[in-house]
Structure 1
Amino acid sequence: MIRRGRALPEGKPAAPPGTPVPPQAASPEEEPGQSLPGRASALIRQYPLVALTCLVLAVTGMLLQSGLEQPARLGASAYAAVVAVIRAAAMFRSLREGRWGIDVLALMAIASTVWVGEYLAALVVILMLSGGEALETFAQGRAARELESLLARAPRFAHREAAGSVLEETPVGEVVPGDVLVVRPSELVPVDGELLSDAASMDESSLTGESLPVERTRGELLLSGSVNGETAIRMRAAATARDSQYSRIIALVEEAASSRAPVVRLADRYAVPFTALAILMAGTAWALSGDPVRIAQVLVVATPCPLLIAAPVAFLAGTSQAAHRGIIIKNTGTLEQLAKARTAVFDKTGTLTSGRPVLDTVQVAQDQGPAAGAAMRAERILQLAASAEQYSSHVLAASVIEAAAQGNLELLPVTRATEHATQGVEAVCGGDTVVVGKAGLVRNASEGFLEAALHSGQLAIYVAVNGRYAGALIMKDPLRGDAGDTLARLHRLGVRHTMLLTGDAHGTAAHIAEEAGIRHVRADCLPEDKVNAVAAVKERPVIMVGDGVNDAPVLAAADVGIAMGAKGATAASESADVVIMLDDLSRVAVAVEIGKRTVAVALVSIWTGIGLSIGLMAVAMTGYIPAVTGALLQELVDLATILNGLRALRPVRRGKPTGRG
């Protein structure tokens, strides 16, 4: 007969009761099931200036086709003038704040084309200006706000004991210190508090990054946001929800995200010198010729279309290429930061390691004399342990069973099983009485017990058979197989400084860092410690790679936060700038390589456009290029920069990183 406290859940455990599903934000152009007219309407609402400019161009074209040149010129010029006034107001606000950008050159181009009567050129400049901004917005993917999933996942209700031990569901905000709460299996702990039950097995990986379960005993502190094991527990609230650990993490994310410095657009850096050069050349042409038309002729070919369109096209191509590789890059500024990255900081559990314990070795108890009999074979110990663990609710049981399956060991029939909560399981497997679990349980149930010799990062599961100690299963959370190659590739890409930040003990962290080739280690870190450590790094920009709720604040604080989102670490994914959708650490290096290639392509596009425009301005100074011809030639320059920007769509070559190093 099999005797157990409760049935084990099959398959993936259900989400904790009362935990809402994080909303999935979809951009208007990507809403599922939307009809084509509906998508068009959404795009018009999202990019009104682009839509209105296209409409004005179409109306202007129809008027010209009908021979109504005067209404076409007046209407287009009036529209361009209104846009110029609106842009001028925004430009002056930026100038007062000390930000010089591409708007100055765009405004001059619009004003000069209207002045000389080249209203079609003015409309083209407006279309390039609004279209470039729309491309940048589209490339960002309309990412949801960083805190949305954190707030959605936060505990909402608590089960509070009322008079007569009756449970009442209470909003978590109404819990006060001293309230006695019941946390059901697989539920989130709603507030920080003291454990009243004898023992509890808690999953604190989302808070500390530790993948192994944490055993708590009566009187110990439970942190809000940790997940209860397979047995209901009682606890006494020690803090309100606002003052508990989970809320402090949310506050850290808010503070870190708001303090992050904005990234200046790539094109803006070249706008000021290009504008100054254009004004100088136009003024020189006017002074030498005495003809004021020359200034308009020069400024027409000096329109900032290469700057307006080159970088957004390249960045859109780069983010598209990244998406094809399972890498979601949320904004164009991130590509620039990736291209310049100098330091990479890694979390341990679930990032550098797999996040799931696996069998390392089987330590077999040695023959202790004639009375003890011969030592049992390692395969037999693993087979018996896995057979017994079928009836354990402990999170390590699945790892033991998986190890037996990988060794092609058949599980034995079980005739009786008793689980000792958080301690282990006792079962009769194929005629042998087997005890599997912690040292205390196996020591009391066997003779000849011997503590296992463990190295950093290891954990022992002890096994006794028929009343004698048989050996121990040594588990570890191993380094990912691609970690070393990823770090070497990052080094070749120019990311020369690496650091490991983890909530684990120093011994475990140092062991993993040594295997991965990371020199700098910070262990025993709380979320606040990680944020401070990243802020203190001098070699910037800094990439932070992590997962889990505990990494959300430091991902938001880093110059580039990269979340390993394959395991559903939604809070980390929403706080990060880059989300890797596959369980593949090597994609971190791929993201950096795509960033370098995209910025290189964008710079070539910008310089190509600037070079061609300077050449055209030099010829226009002589008066040989009329304004209409100059506008047409400028469109060829635009086409050249767009085609070059699309080169970022080409996949990067594995093993041949772009950039120096």
Structure 2
Amino acid sequence: MSTLLAAVRRYPLVAATVLLGLVGVVLESAGLPEAVGWLFSGFGLAVAAYEAVGMVRQLRRGTFGIDFLAITAIIATVLVGEYVATMIIVLMLTGGAALEDFAVNRAKRELNALLQRAPQIAHRHNADFTEVDDVPATEVRVGDHLLVRPAEIVPVDGALVTDSAAFDESSLTGESLPVERVTGDAILSGSINGQAAATIRATATAANSQYQQIIALVEEAAASKAPVVRLADRYAVPFTVVSLLIAGLAWLFSGDPARFAEVLVVATPCPLLISAPVAFMGGMSRAARNGIIVKGGGVLETLSRARTVVFDKTGTLTHGTPTIARVLPEAGFGEDELLALAGSAEQYSSHVLAASVIAAARARGLELTSTDTAHEVPANGVVARLGSTEVTVGKLSFIRDRAPDAVATPLDGGELAIYLAVDGRFAGSIVASDRLRGNARQTMADFRALGIVETVMLTGDARPTAEHIAAMVGIEQVQADCLPADKVNAVRGLARRPVIMVGDGVNDAPVLAVADVGIAMGARGATAASESADVVILIDDLSRTARAVAIGQDTIRIALQSIWLGIVMSIGLMLLAAFGFIPATVGALLQEFVDLATILNALRAIGGRRDAAAQAQIAAREPVTAGILLR
């Protein structure tokens, strides 16, 4: 009963139409057909006047709506005495809003799910960890220790304090299995704790946490109107002219004014106003389900027409986290010994490779030595005294100052070497590489299959490295040694448009903003790149960029199919009505089926089956591509 009352309050005109229809049935049964005629006709004219006010407001905003035909059809059926058809048209108009609301909400289900799951409460430990207080998530400050109970949503980004815990990150990363975390690991807000309580230390406030950033992106995405929807509005003018022409000719040649009303009854295609928005909301919902936030339907339309895709290299085509590829000791040293010495010294370095060396040493179970005697020479290396041994780690020129016998290590494209000297003697080198994403080459093939005719790499790296990676993945054009301004100018100069730019770093924010569509690889957090981009990939998966284009193409195709389906079906019914084959009452009922057919077609943009098929294809080819390294 409460659901029914809520529906009545939400859609009063629908409720009034149904109620008066029932009253009309009672009056007809009581032998009062004239009263039914007056009741239905008066109500129909009142609704037409109400809709006319809305139509005038639309005209003032420069939009001509298809509702003009519905209003004309109501007046025409009243004038010719087809008052039952009048009520059916009124029901179609008023019920259209309810039908649209249902369809759009169905399409927005995945978007709304993100918003509804926003963490509201946090359980904060007091200073001596003896009590836990419930506080709003917005009051959590960096450094607070929070208790996350079993099956609860993590309220803010944090670092795990408990020894270990498992978290469901499926809504954030798409990973279907729980992820094991240990002390010190980053925990994302919005993930769900497993079966045991865990303690985390807040590393961000709620406003700056991953989940709130995602919500902000979703809200921005849901608030826009797509260009193709405005295109659907513009179809209203020629369609109205065609409809009035057919209706006028039918009246002229038949001599029957009822024929004019019969044609206009089936010439009220709400699909022009409903199906396109439903398709676009479905497309954005499908994208969100795939870990892709699209900031508006207009972005989907541009994605569908894209002809060029541009990539940054580090962190986009590669993982952006260098790993140790080879350990090359000189005579007198072993691999483990060399790696342990390097890891011990690198503990006192701020170089980007230091963490990779330390991680590689610990992965081999090597013990690292601490010291109080170490100093770093910026942009060169680090010198550390480990017991009675002096270890120097750094670039070749720095090592040669201490070990003149040091020699350069042959490197492949995309590799970088750090060199070691021990007590003034060259000890060897350690080669690191930034791993190429396993699906990078397949992603390029996917883009070509989607009609992308030009692929470009823009990177600040040296040309040999850039060309090596481009050759590995199948990118046609390379511009290396680029500063952020160089990337902006390069994208502006591309002729085949629209242009997609894919990047991940703060330095990519300007070029993402200037591209026709900027796609940010934002799985590691909402950075300036995410804020500047039109599309944000929430999962650390390059193939999602091509999937975003595929979703855009599917959405546009389905939206236009739905528009034309409504137009073709309505014109077919108008022609039948023009020759007298469809009475006004029957025509009004048939028009409802046209509306339903086009909306159901538009809902195909949600694309569950297509996503399942795409996922199956990815799973089938992953074992082949996942092991590719940048060597």
Shorter-chain TM band: 0.5 to 0.7
Kindly report which structure 2 residues correspond to 1:23-422, keeping only aligned pairs within 5 A, or say none: 54-66=11-23, 74=42, 77-91=45-59, 93-94=61-62, 103-117=64-78, 118=86, 120-122=88-90, 124-125=92-93, 128=96, 263-265=227-229, 267-268=232-233, 270-365=235-330, 374-406=331-363, 408-420=364-376, 422=378
The C-alpha deviation readout for 1:374-393, integer Å capped at 9, x for no partner, is 34234432232123323434
Q: Does 1:544 align with 2:501?
A: yes
Kindly report which structure 2 residues correspond to 1:407-556, keeping only aligned pairs within 5 A, or say none: 408-420=364-376, 422=378, 423-429=380-386, 432-439=389-396, 441-454=398-411, 457-556=414-513
Task: Tell me: CA distance 1:587–1:426, structure 2 relative to 1, closer, same or farther (3 Å).
Answer: same
Please tell me the residue identity of whatever aligns with 2:77: V
CA separation in 2, counterparts of 1:449 and 1:268? 73
Confirm or deny: 8 A CA contact 2:45 2:74 kept in the other structure: no
> What is residue 608 of structure 2 aligned with on the other side?
650
Please tell me the residue identity of whatever aligns with 2:287: A
3-state DSSP class of the match of 2:268?
coil
3-state DSSP class of the match of 1:471?
strand
CA separation in 2, counterparts of 1:277 and 1:495? 38
CA separation in 1, counterparts of 2:295 and 2:56? 29
CA separation in 1, counterparts of 2:581 and 2:450? 47
The C-alpha deviation readout for 1:616-643, integer Å capped at 9, x for no partner, is 1121112332333212111111222222
Task: Tell me: CA distance 1:91–1:141, structure 2 relative to 1, closer, same or farther (3 Å).
Answer: farther
The C-alpha deviation readout for 1:394-433, integer Å capped at 9, x for no partner, is 3321111223345x24233335441325343334558744
3-state DSSP class of the match of 2:66?
helix
Confirm or deny: 8 A CA contact 1:60 1:76 kept in the other structure: no
Confirm or deny: 8 A CA contact 1:135 1:316 kept in the other structure: no
The C-alpha deviation readout for 1:320-356, integer Å capped at 9, x for no partner, is 2222221122222222322222211112221112122
CA separation in 2, counterparts of 1:297 and 1:428? 96
The C-alpha deviation readout for 1:117-169, integer Å capped at 9, x for no partner, is 42552453365379759977985969xxxxxxxxxxxxxxxxxxxxxxxxxxx
CA separation in 2, counterparts of 1:322 and 1:607? 24
Q: Does 1:605 align with 2:562?
A: yes
Please tell me the residue identity of whatever aligns with 1:513: A
Task: Tell me: CA distance 1:51–1:537, structure 2 relative to 1, closer, same or farther (3 Å).
Answer: farther
- Shift of residue 488, structure 1, vs aligned partner: 0.7
Between 524-533 and 275-284, the greater mean CA deviation after superposition: 524-533
CA separation in 1, counterparts of 2:303 and 2:540? 20
3-state DSSP class of the match of 1:531?
helix
Confirm or deny: 8 A CA contact 1:457 1:477 kept in the other structure: yes
CA separation in 2, counterparts of 1:377 and 1:349? 32
Confirm or deny: 8 A CA contact 2:111 2:285 kept in the other structure: no
Task: Tell me: CA distance 1:445–1:614, structure 2 relative to 1, closer, same or farther (3 Å).
Answer: same
Identity of aligned residues (%): 50
Between 487-496 and 611-620, the greater mean CA deviation after superposition: 611-620
CA separation in 1, counterparts of 2:373 and 2:609? 56
Confirm or deny: 8 A CA contact 1:133 1:312 kept in the other structure: no
CA separation in 2, counterparts of 1:525 and 1:76? 67
CA separation in 2, counterparts of 1:530 and 1:515? 22
3-state DSSP class of the match of 2:432?
strand
The C-alpha deviation readout for 1:226-258, integer Å capped at 9, x for no partner, is xxxxxxxxxxxxxxxxxxxxxxxxxxxxxxxxx
> What is residue 583 of structure 2 aligned with on the other side?
626
CA separation in 2, counterparts of 1:607 and 1:491? 28
Task: Tell me: CA distance 1:471–1:72, structure 2 relative to 1, closer, same or farther (3 Å).
Answer: farther
3-state DSSP class of the match of 1:58?
helix
Please tell me the residue identity of whatever aligns with 1:470: A
Task: Tell me: CA distance 1:393–1:500, structure 2 relative to 1, closer, same or farther (3 Å).
Answer: closer
Confirm or deny: 8 A CA contact 1:391 1:425 kept in the other structure: yes
Task: Tell me: CA distance 1:630–1:319, structure 2 relative to 1, closer, same or farther (3 Å).
Answer: same
Task: Tell me: CA distance 1:402–1:296, structure 2 relative to 1, closer, same or farther (3 Å).
Answer: farther
Task: Tell me: CA distance 1:308–1:456, structure 2 relative to 1, closer, same or farther (3 Å).
Answer: same
Task: Tell me: CA distance 1:279–1:445, structure 2 relative to 1, closer, same or farther (3 Å).
Answer: same
Please tell me the residue identity of whatever aligns with 1:82: Y
- Shift of residue 51, structure 1, vs aligned partner: 9.5
Confirm or deny: 8 A CA contact 1:504 1:523 kept in the other structure: yes
- Shift of residue 271, structure 1, vs aligned partner: 4.1
Task: Tell me: CA distance 1:290–1:564, structure 2 relative to 1, closer, same or farther (3 Å).
Answer: same
CA separation in 1, counterparts of 2:247 and 2:57? 24
CA separation in 2, counterparts of 1:469 and 1:127? 83
Confirm or deny: 8 A CA contact 2:72 2:264 kept in the other structure: no
Please tell me the residue identity of whatever aligns with 2:250: A
Task: Tell me: CA distance 1:518–1:305, structure 2 relative to 1, closer, same or farther (3 Å).
Answer: same
- Shift of residue 286, structure 1, vs aligned partner: 1.6
- Shift of residue 357, structure 1, vs aligned partner: 2.0
CA separation in 1, counterparts of 2:591 and 2:566? 9
3-state DSSP class of the match of 2:246?
helix
Confirm or deny: 8 A CA contact 2:111 2:288 kept in the other structure: no
Task: Tell me: CA distance 1:491–1:630, structure 2 relative to 1, closer, same or farther (3 Å).
Answer: same
Please tell me the residue identity of whatever aligns with 1:497: E
Please tell me the residue identity of whatever aligns with 1:108: L
For structure 1, the residue ranges without an aligned partner over 5 or more in a row are 1-35, 45-49, 96-102, 143-260, 366-373
CA separation in 2, counterparts of 1:457 and 1:501? 15
Confirm or deny: 8 A CA contact 1:106 1:129 kept in the other structure: no
3-state DSSP class of the match of 2:351?
coil
The Cα RMSD (Å) is: 3.7
3-state DSSP class of the match of 1:385?
helix
Please tell me the residue identity of whatever aligns with 2:376: H
CA separation in 1, counterparts of 2:286 and 2:436? 28
- Shift of residue 301, structure 1, vs aligned partner: 0.8
- Residue 523 of structure 2, aligned match among 537, 542, 566: 566
- Shift of residue 500, structure 1, vs aligned partner: 1.2
